[in-house]
Amino acid sequence: MSDSQQPGRGPLHGHLVLDLSRALAGPHAGMMLGDLGARVVKVEAPGRGDDTRGWGPPFVGPEDARESTYFLACNRNKESVTADLKSEEGRALVARLVRQADVLIENFRPGVMDRLGFPEERLRELNPRLVILSISGFGPDGPEGGRAGYDQIAQGEAGLMSITGTPGAPLKVGTPIADLLAGIFGVQAVLAALLERRSTGRGRTVRTSLLSSLIGIHSFQGTRWTVAREVPVAEGNQHPSIAPYGLFHCADGDIQLSAGSESLWRSVAAVTGLDPADPRYATNADRVRNRVRLARELEQVFATAPAADWLARLDAAGVPVGRVRTIDEVYAWEQTRAQGLIVQVDHPVLGPIELPGTPWRFDDGGRTRHDPPPTLGQHNASVRAWLDEVEGLGSPDTAPEPPADRHPAAAGATR
């Protein structure tokens, strides 16, 4: 068994990720790589750190050491060092880390890395095996390639808001989906580049953007236009191409159901007493054309009993159904906990806290120990000491392990 395959370490154990990013897209990518077992060193600006350290409320913790829950959401399994990238000392630290790294993540506006003294050519000179992930708002080139990118702006520009919500009222998705997807797609490309490097011995640069991440998930809404020349619009909580599929009101609350096949439609009809052969509803195309009428008839039936009753009846008939849960209900849900979707960490300021967990499972459990999001500069001393040791050995292949216990008191870190 190789070192990276040992249970509890994760498949990327032994890889070093240098995270120069801030806000969400890049940090989310770095956290995913850390969740997969990589060691992630996050470089932050002295004094203020990542922008998200100031995004709130809510803030938690003592008055003299407040932590942003936004920052906590995307920075576990990382070590924090501070460096002014506009100073010689800061750039020298980054150069040292680049020489040892397998992956570098940056989400500056196009051209900023060049101005900081780290154009791609220099990064390749420092480390030919380096895989670079570059995330931007609207892409690295093109007529608007230099634009700053923030999630909601990208959601609007990429058309997502035009198909979300109700007609005439564009609505953003409730999470920063462009940022998160850019991080996810970026990690996919990084993993492919690391796999390729095993045969070529060289790294490569992979690029993604908030714009490309959203267009990448247009799916059937995209082909409605590109192929059928039909402009999609917001249609509320009903599916534009399948019926019945969406949210329906009951006597005391809401349920959601999906009749994605003719057999499921017949099951819905049997439970609710509708005629499955009614010519208005005989095929899915008929039901979509008469979706408003069908929804009204279904809700007249659903209004006769509580939501729990309809959930039970439909589920017993094999119809996919579900509740609309609040976020607190999701984390209290036994299914969430049974799937390992909550990570428990011991934060140096906050103590034991729970974080949204990793979305995958490995047959050996994957990474079993997770480190809390770091305080600003928590690992200044330990990372520099590790670099001194690595450089003294003269080969990144013989680099020693980071300290097993990264608590600041054990690692000699500073805040």
- The residues assigned a catalytic role are 179
Distance CA 21, CA 10 (A): 23
Q: Where are the alpha helices (DSSP H) in 102-176?
A: 112-115, 120-126, 151-157
CA angle in degrees (0–180, nearest 5) for 172-231-175 = 15
Using CA atoms, how far apart are residues 79 and 19, in angstroms rounded to an integer? Answer: 10
Closest residue by Cα to residue 100 from 31, 20, 16: 16
Cα–Cα separations (whole angstroms), residue 366 to 215, 359, 399: 31, 11, 23
Strand partners, 17: 40, 103
Cβ neighbors of 323 (< 8 A, separation 6 or more) are 253, 254, 255, 256, 307, 311
Q: Can you say whether residue 212 is alpha, beta or left, with left for phi > 0 and alpha for psi between -120 and 50 degrees?
A: alpha
3-state class (DSSP) for residue 415: coil
Instruction: Name residue 39's amino acid.
Output: R
